Amino acid sequence: MTETLAPTDAGLARAAALLAEGELVAFPTETVYGLGGDARSDMAVARIFEAKGRPRFNPLIVHLPDLEAARSVGVFDDLAERVASAFWPGPLTLVVPLRPSARLSPLVTADLPSVAIRVPEHPVAQRLLRAFGGPVAAPSANPSGKISPTRADHVLSGLDGKIAAVVDGGACAVGLESTILGLVGEPAILRPGGIPAEALEACLGRPLPSGGDSAKPTAPGQLLSHYAPAAPVRLNADKPEPGEFWLGFGPEAAGADLNLSETGDLVEAAANLFHFLRQADASATGPIAVSPILEKGLGRAINDRLRRAAAPRG
Ligand code: TXA
Ligand code: MG
**Average pLDDT value for the chain:** 93
284 assigned to some structural domain: yes
Give the CATH number, domain containing residue 302.
3.40.50.11030
Summarised one tens digit per residue, pLDDT across range 32-75 is 999 999 999 999 999 999 999 999 999 999 999 999 999 999 99
Output the CA 144–ligand 2 centroid distance in Å. 7
Q: Is the CB of 177 under 6 A from ligand 1?
A: yes
Is the pLDDT at 220 greater than 50, yes or no?
no
Output the CA 243–ligand 2 centroid distance in Å. 43
Q: Are residues 165 and 16 in the same domain?
A: yes
Measured between alpha carbons, how far is 238 from 289 in angstroms, rounded to an integer?
9
211 assigned to some structural domain: no
- Is the alpha carbon torsion for 27, 32, 34, 35 positive or negative? positive
Helix-, strand-, coil-residue percentages of the chain, each rounded to 5: 35, 20, 50
Summarised one tens digit per residue, pLDDT across range 95-144 is 999 999 999 999 999 999 999 999 999 999 999 999 999 999 999 999 99
Q: Which atom of ligand 1 is nearest to the CA of 141?
A: 6
Measured between alpha carbons, how far is 154 from 131 in angstroms, rounded to an integer?
25
Tell me the residue range of the domain where 166 lies.
3-204
Summarised one tens digit per residue, pLDDT across range 144-168 is 999 999 999 999 999 999 999 999 9
209 assigned to some structural domain: no
Measured between alpha carbons, how far is 59 from 259 in angstroms, rounded to an integer?
24
User: Residue 227: what pLDDT?
Assistant: 64
Q: Are residues 287 and 151 in the same domain?
A: no
* Residue percentage of the chain with pLDDT more than 70: 94
pTM above 0.75, yes or no: yes
Measured between alpha carbons, how far is 205 from 44 in angstroms, rounded to an integer?
40
